[in-house]
Structure 1
Amino acid sequence: MEAWPTVARVLLLTTIADWLKAAQSRDFTMKDIILLHPSTTPHPGAFKCFTCQDAADNYECNRWAPDVYCPKGAKYCYTQHTMAKNGDSVSVTKRCVTMEDCLFAGCVMSNSYQVCSSCCEGNICNLLVPRNDSSAVFSSASPLASSSRRLHPAVLSFIISFFIAGNV
Protein backbone atom coordinates (compact mmCIF):
# COMPACT_ATOMS: atom_id res chain seq x y z
CA MET A 1 0.00 0.00 0.00
CA GLU A 2 2.95 2.34 0.48
CA ALA A 3 3.62 2.33 -3.28
CA TRP A 4 0.52 4.40 -4.10
CA PRO A 5 1.74 7.63 -2.43
CA THR A 6 5.03 7.29 -4.34
CA VAL A 7 3.21 6.75 -7.65
CA ALA A 8 0.98 9.74 -6.92
CA ARG A 9 4.03 11.94 -6.22
CA VAL A 10 5.74 10.84 -9.44
CA LEU A 11 2.60 11.57 -11.48
CA LEU A 12 2.19 14.97 -9.81
CA LEU A 13 5.83 15.91 -10.42
CA THR A 14 5.59 14.76 -14.05
CA THR A 15 2.51 16.91 -14.57
CA ILE A 16 4.18 19.94 -12.99
CA ALA A 17 7.32 19.43 -15.12
CA ASP A 18 5.20 19.26 -18.30
CA TRP A 19 3.33 22.40 -17.27
CA LEU A 20 6.59 24.27 -16.62
CA LYS A 21 8.00 23.16 -19.97
CA ALA A 22 4.85 24.44 -21.74
CA ALA A 23 5.02 27.71 -19.81
CA GLN A 24 8.64 28.21 -20.88
CA SER A 25 7.65 27.60 -24.51
CA ARG A 26 4.92 30.23 -24.24
CA ASP A 27 7.39 32.72 -22.72
CA PHE A 28 9.78 32.17 -25.62
CA THR A 29 6.96 32.73 -28.10
CA MET A 30 5.82 35.81 -26.20
CA LYS A 31 9.30 37.36 -26.43
CA ASP A 32 9.30 36.73 -30.19
CA ILE A 33 5.93 38.44 -30.62
CA ILE A 34 6.87 41.48 -28.56
CA LEU A 35 10.15 41.92 -30.47
CA LEU A 36 8.51 42.12 -33.90
CA HIS A 37 9.79 45.65 -34.58
CA PRO A 38 13.47 45.57 -35.55
CA SER A 39 15.29 48.82 -36.21
CA THR A 40 15.38 48.34 -40.00
CA THR A 41 12.70 47.40 -42.49
CA PRO A 42 13.15 45.98 -46.01
CA HIS A 43 10.98 48.70 -47.61
CA PRO A 44 8.93 51.73 -46.50
CA GLY A 45 5.67 50.72 -44.83
CA ALA A 46 6.84 47.14 -44.31
CA PHE A 47 4.82 45.03 -41.89
CA LYS A 48 4.49 41.45 -40.69
CA CYS A 49 1.64 38.94 -40.58
CA PHE A 50 1.42 35.67 -38.71
CA THR A 51 2.10 33.04 -41.38
CA CYS A 52 1.49 29.30 -41.44
CA GLN A 53 0.09 26.64 -43.75
CA ASP A 54 -2.46 24.12 -42.45
CA ALA A 55 -1.50 24.40 -38.77
CA ALA A 56 -3.56 22.29 -36.36
CA ASP A 57 -4.97 25.33 -34.55
CA ASN A 58 -4.37 29.03 -33.91
CA TYR A 59 -1.91 28.44 -31.08
CA GLU A 60 0.32 26.22 -33.25
CA CYS A 61 0.14 28.70 -36.12
CA ASN A 62 1.10 31.76 -34.07
CA ARG A 63 3.67 29.85 -32.04
CA TRP A 64 5.69 28.75 -35.08
CA ALA A 65 4.99 31.70 -37.41
CA PRO A 66 8.24 32.86 -39.03
CA ASP A 67 9.28 36.38 -38.11
CA VAL A 68 9.62 37.84 -41.62
CA TYR A 69 8.32 40.91 -43.42
CA CYS A 70 5.60 40.67 -46.05
CA PRO A 71 6.58 41.20 -49.70
CA LYS A 72 6.31 44.75 -51.03
CA GLY A 73 3.09 44.09 -53.01
CA ALA A 74 1.20 42.53 -50.09
CA LYS A 75 -0.89 44.98 -48.09
CA TYR A 76 -3.04 42.69 -45.92
CA CYS A 77 -2.90 39.71 -43.57
CA TYR A 78 -5.18 36.79 -44.52
CA THR A 79 -6.51 34.06 -42.23
CA GLN A 80 -8.46 30.92 -43.18
CA HIS A 81 -9.87 28.82 -40.34
CA THR A 82 -11.42 25.41 -40.99
CA MET A 83 -13.55 23.95 -38.20
CA ALA A 84 -15.38 20.70 -37.57
CA LYS A 85 -19.13 20.77 -36.87
CA ASN A 86 -18.45 20.97 -33.11
CA GLY A 87 -16.31 24.11 -33.59
CA ASP A 88 -12.92 22.46 -33.05
CA SER A 89 -10.12 23.68 -35.30
CA VAL A 90 -9.15 21.41 -38.17
CA SER A 91 -6.63 23.74 -39.82
CA VAL A 92 -5.43 27.34 -39.79
CA THR A 93 -3.66 29.08 -42.66
CA LYS A 94 -2.30 32.62 -42.40
CA ARG A 95 -0.27 34.65 -44.87
CA CYS A 96 0.46 38.05 -46.42
CA VAL A 97 -1.80 38.83 -49.40
CA THR A 98 -2.82 41.47 -51.92
CA MET A 99 -6.29 43.03 -52.14
CA GLU A 100 -7.42 40.40 -54.69
CA ASP A 101 -7.09 37.67 -52.07
CA CYS A 102 -9.29 39.63 -49.67
CA LEU A 103 -12.35 39.98 -51.91
CA PHE A 104 -14.20 37.24 -50.03
CA ALA A 105 -14.41 37.35 -46.25
CA GLY A 106 -16.96 35.24 -44.45
CA CYS A 107 -17.91 31.66 -43.67
CA VAL A 108 -19.09 28.80 -45.89
CA MET A 109 -19.86 25.12 -45.31
CA SER A 110 -17.62 22.79 -47.30
CA ASN A 111 -17.63 18.97 -46.96
CA SER A 112 -19.13 19.09 -43.45
CA TYR A 113 -16.57 21.68 -42.34
CA GLN A 114 -17.12 25.37 -41.74
CA VAL A 115 -14.45 27.47 -43.45
CA CYS A 116 -14.13 31.10 -42.34
CA SER A 117 -11.72 33.62 -43.84
CA SER A 118 -10.80 37.15 -42.90
CA CYS A 119 -8.38 39.89 -43.92
CA CYS A 120 -6.95 42.74 -41.91
CA GLU A 121 -4.60 45.63 -42.47
CA GLY A 122 -1.80 46.28 -40.03
CA ASN A 123 1.26 44.79 -38.40
CA ILE A 124 0.52 41.27 -37.02
CA CYS A 125 -3.20 42.06 -37.12
CA ASN A 126 -4.12 38.42 -37.78
CA LEU A 127 -3.53 37.20 -34.26
CA LEU A 128 -7.06 35.81 -33.93
CA VAL A 129 -8.91 33.35 -36.17
CA PRO A 130 -12.42 33.91 -37.53
CA ARG A 131 -14.97 31.55 -35.96
CA ASN A 132 -18.25 32.86 -37.39
CA ASP A 133 -19.67 35.48 -39.75
CA SER A 134 -19.23 38.28 -37.24
CA SER A 135 -15.47 37.70 -36.95
CA ALA A 136 -14.87 36.65 -40.59
CA VAL A 137 -14.56 40.19 -41.94
CA PHE A 138 -12.26 42.50 -43.86
CA SER A 139 -10.91 44.94 -41.30
CA SER A 140 -8.66 47.93 -41.85
CA ALA A 141 -7.65 48.02 -38.17
CA SER A 142 -5.79 45.58 -36.00
CA PRO A 143 -7.89 44.13 -33.16
CA LEU A 144 -5.07 45.05 -30.76
CA ALA A 145 -4.34 48.53 -32.11
CA SER A 146 -7.79 49.82 -32.97
CA SER A 147 -7.72 52.47 -30.25
CA SER A 148 -5.64 55.61 -30.46
CA ARG A 149 -4.08 54.85 -27.06
CA ARG A 150 -0.98 52.68 -26.87
CA LEU A 151 -1.11 49.55 -24.77
CA HIS A 152 1.39 49.11 -21.97
CA PRO A 153 3.72 46.19 -22.86
CA ALA A 154 2.55 44.18 -19.83
CA VAL A 155 -1.10 44.54 -20.91
CA LEU A 156 -0.20 43.60 -24.49
CA SER A 157 1.71 40.54 -23.22
CA PHE A 158 -1.30 39.42 -21.20
CA ILE A 159 -3.68 39.84 -24.15
CA ILE A 160 -1.41 37.93 -26.52
CA SER A 161 -0.75 35.11 -24.05
CA PHE A 162 -4.49 34.80 -23.35
CA PHE A 163 -5.32 34.31 -27.03
CA ILE A 164 -2.30 32.18 -27.90
CA ALA A 165 -2.97 29.83 -25.02
CA GLY A 166 -6.07 28.70 -26.91
CA ASN A 167 -8.68 30.70 -25.04
CA VAL A 168 -10.00 32.24 -28.24
Structure 2
Amino acid sequence: MMEGWPAVAWLLLMTNIADWLKPVQSRDFTTKDIILLHPSTTPHPGAFKCFTCQQAVDNYECNRWAPDVYCPKDTRYCHTLHMMDNHGDSVSVTKRCATLEDCLFTGCASITGNGRVCSSCCEGNICNVLLPRNDSSAVFTRTSPLVSSSRELHPAALSYIIIIIIIISILLTL
Protein backbone atom coordinates (compact mmCIF):
# COMPACT_ATOMS: atom_id res chain seq x y z
CA MET A 1 0.00 0.00 0.00
CA MET A 2 2.87 2.42 0.77
CA GLU A 3 4.69 1.55 -2.47
CA GLY A 4 2.68 4.14 -4.49
CA TRP A 5 3.51 7.11 -2.22
CA PRO A 6 6.96 7.90 -3.69
CA ALA A 7 5.37 8.16 -7.16
CA VAL A 8 2.60 10.45 -5.86
CA ALA A 9 5.13 12.61 -4.00
CA TRP A 10 7.28 12.82 -7.13
CA LEU A 11 4.25 13.84 -9.24
CA LEU A 12 3.28 16.58 -6.76
CA LEU A 13 6.85 17.88 -6.65
CA MET A 14 7.09 18.01 -10.45
CA THR A 15 3.72 19.80 -10.66
CA ASN A 16 4.94 22.49 -8.25
CA ILE A 17 8.22 22.90 -10.14
CA ALA A 18 6.32 23.24 -13.43
CA ASP A 19 4.22 26.02 -11.89
CA TRP A 20 7.36 27.86 -10.78
CA LEU A 21 8.87 27.64 -14.24
CA LYS A 22 5.96 29.30 -16.05
CA PRO A 23 7.26 32.38 -17.86
CA VAL A 24 6.45 35.77 -16.39
CA GLN A 25 4.24 37.79 -18.72
CA SER A 26 5.64 41.21 -19.58
CA ARG A 27 3.33 44.17 -19.10
CA ASP A 28 5.03 46.35 -21.64
CA PHE A 29 2.74 47.55 -24.39
CA THR A 30 1.68 44.82 -26.77
CA THR A 31 0.31 44.90 -30.28
CA LYS A 32 -3.16 44.29 -28.85
CA ASP A 33 -2.73 47.21 -26.43
CA ILE A 34 -1.67 49.52 -29.25
CA ILE A 35 -4.44 48.60 -31.68
CA LEU A 36 -7.25 48.35 -29.13
CA LEU A 37 -6.34 51.31 -26.91
CA HIS A 38 -9.76 52.96 -26.97
CA PRO A 39 -11.03 53.82 -23.49
CA SER A 40 -14.76 54.19 -22.99
CA THR A 41 -14.66 57.84 -21.89
CA THR A 42 -12.79 60.71 -23.53
CA PRO A 43 -12.28 64.29 -22.33
CA HIS A 44 -13.67 65.75 -25.57
CA PRO A 45 -15.12 64.48 -28.89
CA GLY A 46 -12.41 63.11 -31.17
CA ALA A 47 -9.88 62.87 -28.33
CA PHE A 48 -6.77 60.82 -29.07
CA LYS A 49 -3.41 59.94 -27.56
CA CYS A 50 0.16 60.14 -28.83
CA PHE A 51 3.31 58.58 -27.47
CA THR A 52 5.02 61.50 -25.72
CA CYS A 53 8.56 61.93 -24.41
CA GLN A 54 11.35 64.51 -24.29
CA GLN A 55 14.78 63.49 -25.56
CA ALA A 56 14.55 59.78 -24.74
CA VAL A 57 17.63 57.72 -25.63
CA ASP A 58 15.72 55.50 -28.07
CA ASN A 59 12.23 54.56 -29.26
CA TYR A 60 11.77 51.77 -26.74
CA GLU A 61 12.47 54.05 -23.76
CA CYS A 62 10.16 56.71 -25.19
CA ASN A 63 7.21 54.41 -25.81
CA ARG A 64 7.70 52.42 -22.61
CA TRP A 65 7.55 55.44 -20.30
CA ALA A 66 5.17 57.63 -22.32
CA PRO A 67 2.43 59.07 -20.10
CA ASP A 68 -1.04 57.75 -20.86
CA VAL A 69 -2.83 61.09 -21.33
CA TYR A 70 -5.07 62.60 -23.98
CA CYS A 71 -3.77 65.30 -26.31
CA PRO A 72 -5.04 68.86 -25.84
CA LYS A 73 -8.17 69.81 -27.75
CA ASP A 74 -6.30 72.21 -30.08
CA THR A 75 -4.02 69.44 -31.41
CA ARG A 76 -4.82 66.91 -34.10
CA TYR A 77 -1.59 65.08 -34.88
CA CYS A 78 1.32 63.20 -33.29
CA HIS A 79 4.82 64.55 -33.99
CA THR A 80 8.13 62.66 -33.76
CA LEU A 81 11.64 64.12 -33.90
CA HIS A 82 14.43 61.53 -34.20
CA MET A 83 18.12 62.40 -34.01
CA MET A 84 20.69 59.79 -35.09
CA ASP A 85 24.47 59.60 -35.04
CA ASN A 86 26.68 58.96 -38.10
CA HIS A 87 25.97 55.20 -37.83
CA GLY A 88 22.17 55.61 -37.77
CA ASP A 89 21.87 54.80 -34.06
CA SER A 90 19.36 56.80 -32.03
CA VAL A 91 20.71 59.70 -30.01
CA SER A 92 17.45 61.42 -29.05
CA VAL A 93 13.73 60.76 -29.51
CA THR A 94 11.07 63.40 -28.82
CA LYS A 95 7.37 62.67 -29.35
CA ARG A 96 4.39 64.90 -28.64
CA CYS A 97 0.92 66.03 -29.62
CA ALA A 98 1.01 68.60 -32.43
CA THR A 99 -1.01 71.14 -34.36
CA LEU A 100 -1.08 71.38 -38.15
CA GLU A 101 1.50 74.18 -38.01
CA ASP A 102 3.89 71.88 -36.12
CA CYS A 103 3.65 69.33 -38.95
CA LEU A 104 4.37 71.55 -41.95
CA PHE A 105 8.07 70.58 -42.08
CA THR A 106 8.70 66.84 -42.16
CA GLY A 107 11.61 64.94 -43.66
CA CYS A 108 15.27 64.34 -42.88
CA ALA A 109 18.32 66.57 -42.82
CA SER A 110 21.99 65.89 -42.25
CA ILE A 111 23.71 67.60 -39.34
CA THR A 112 27.24 68.50 -40.42
CA GLY A 113 29.55 65.85 -38.98
CA ASN A 114 27.05 64.84 -36.31
CA GLY A 115 24.53 62.56 -38.01
CA ARG A 116 20.98 63.07 -39.13
CA VAL A 117 17.62 64.31 -37.85
CA CYS A 118 14.22 63.15 -39.12
CA SER A 119 10.79 64.57 -38.36
CA SER A 120 7.38 63.02 -39.01
CA CYS A 121 3.73 63.62 -38.17
CA CYS A 122 0.73 61.33 -38.25
CA GLU A 123 -2.99 61.46 -37.56
CA GLY A 124 -4.62 58.86 -35.35
CA ASN A 125 -4.63 57.38 -31.89
CA ILE A 126 -1.03 56.53 -30.84
CA CYS A 127 0.03 56.48 -34.49
CA ASN A 128 3.61 57.55 -33.68
CA VAL A 129 4.76 54.15 -32.43
CA LEU A 130 7.66 53.91 -34.93
CA LEU A 131 10.54 56.29 -35.64
CA PRO A 132 11.29 58.12 -38.87
CA ARG A 133 14.75 56.96 -40.02
CA ASN A 134 14.86 58.06 -43.66
CA ASP A 135 13.00 60.16 -46.22
CA SER A 136 10.43 57.44 -46.89
CA SER A 137 9.36 57.26 -43.22
CA ALA A 138 9.82 60.95 -42.33
CA VAL A 139 6.47 62.02 -43.76
CA PHE A 140 3.17 63.60 -42.78
CA THR A 141 0.50 60.88 -42.87
CA ARG A 142 -3.09 62.01 -42.57
CA THR A 143 -4.45 58.67 -41.38
CA SER A 144 -3.08 56.23 -38.84
CA PRO A 145 -1.15 53.24 -40.24
CA LEU A 146 -2.86 51.08 -37.61
CA VAL A 147 -6.42 52.06 -38.59
CA SER A 148 -8.04 51.24 -41.90
CA SER A 149 -11.31 52.58 -43.24
CA SER A 150 -12.26 49.15 -44.58
CA ARG A 151 -12.62 45.90 -42.68
CA GLU A 152 -9.48 44.46 -44.32
CA LEU A 153 -6.09 44.94 -42.67
CA HIS A 154 -4.01 47.50 -44.54
CA PRO A 155 -0.62 46.09 -45.74
CA ALA A 156 1.28 48.85 -43.88
CA ALA A 157 -0.57 48.00 -40.67
CA LEU A 158 0.37 44.35 -41.09
CA SER A 159 4.04 45.33 -41.50
CA TYR A 160 3.95 47.44 -38.34
CA ILE A 161 2.27 44.64 -36.40
CA ILE A 162 4.89 42.12 -37.54
CA ILE A 163 7.74 44.48 -36.56
CA ILE A 164 6.20 45.09 -33.14
CA ILE A 165 5.67 41.36 -32.55
CA ILE A 166 9.30 40.65 -33.49
CA ILE A 167 10.56 43.38 -31.14
CA ILE A 168 8.38 42.15 -28.29
CA SER A 169 9.47 38.53 -28.79
CA ILE A 170 13.15 39.59 -28.76
CA LEU A 171 12.63 41.59 -25.58
CA LEU A 172 10.89 38.67 -23.88
CA THR A 173 13.84 36.38 -24.61
CA LEU A 174 16.36 38.72 -22.96
TM bin, normalised by shorter chain, reads 0.7 to 0.9
Q: Summarize the Cα distance change of 1:32–1:143 in structure 2 as closer, same or farther, 3 Å threshold.
A: closer
Counterpart of 2:146 in structure 1 is 144
- CA deviations over 1:57-112 (Å, ceiling 9, x no partner): 11111111111100000000000110111111111110001011101000011241
Counterpart of 2:29 in structure 1 is 29
Counterpart of 1:162 in structure 2 is 166
2:127, 2:145 within 8 Å by CA — same for their partners in 1? yes
Q: Give the secondary-structure state (helix, strand or coil) at the position aligned to 1:78.
A: strand
From the CA coordinates, give the structure whose radius of gyration is larger.
Answer: 2
| Cα distance between partner residues in 1 of 2:170 and 2:119 | 19
Matched, 1:67 2:68: yes
| Cα distance between partner residues in 1 of 2:111 and 2:170 | 24
| Unaligned ranges ≥5, structure 2 | 1-22
**Which of 95, 113, 119 is 2:121 aligned to?**
119
Aligned-pair CA distance for 1:149: 2.5
1:76, 1:120 within 8 Å by CA — same for their partners in 2? yes
Report the TM-score, using the length of structure 2 for normalisation: 0.71
Q: Give the secondary-structure state (helix, strand or coil) at the position aligned to 1:29.
A: coil
| Cα distance between partner residues in 2 of 1:98 and 1:163 | 30
| Cα distance between partner residues in 2 of 1:164 and 1:49 | 20
Q: Give the secondary-structure state (helix, strand or coil) at the position aligned to 1:61.
A: helix
Q: Summarize the Cα distance change of 1:131–1:165 in structure 2 as closer, same or farther, 3 Å threshold.
A: farther
Runs of 4+ in 1 over 4 A off after TM superposition: 155-159, 163-167
| Cα distance between partner residues in 1 of 2:105 and 2:40 | 35
Counterpart of 1:89 in structure 2 is 90
**Coordinate RMSD, CA, aligned:** 2.8
Q: Summarize the Cα distance change of 1:82–1:166 in structure 2 as closer, same or farther, 3 Å threshold.
A: farther
Report the TM-score, using the length of structure 1 for normalisation: 0.73
Q: Summarize the Cα distance change of 1:59–1:38 in structure 2 as closer, same or farther, 3 Å threshold.
A: same
Paired-residue identity, %: 69
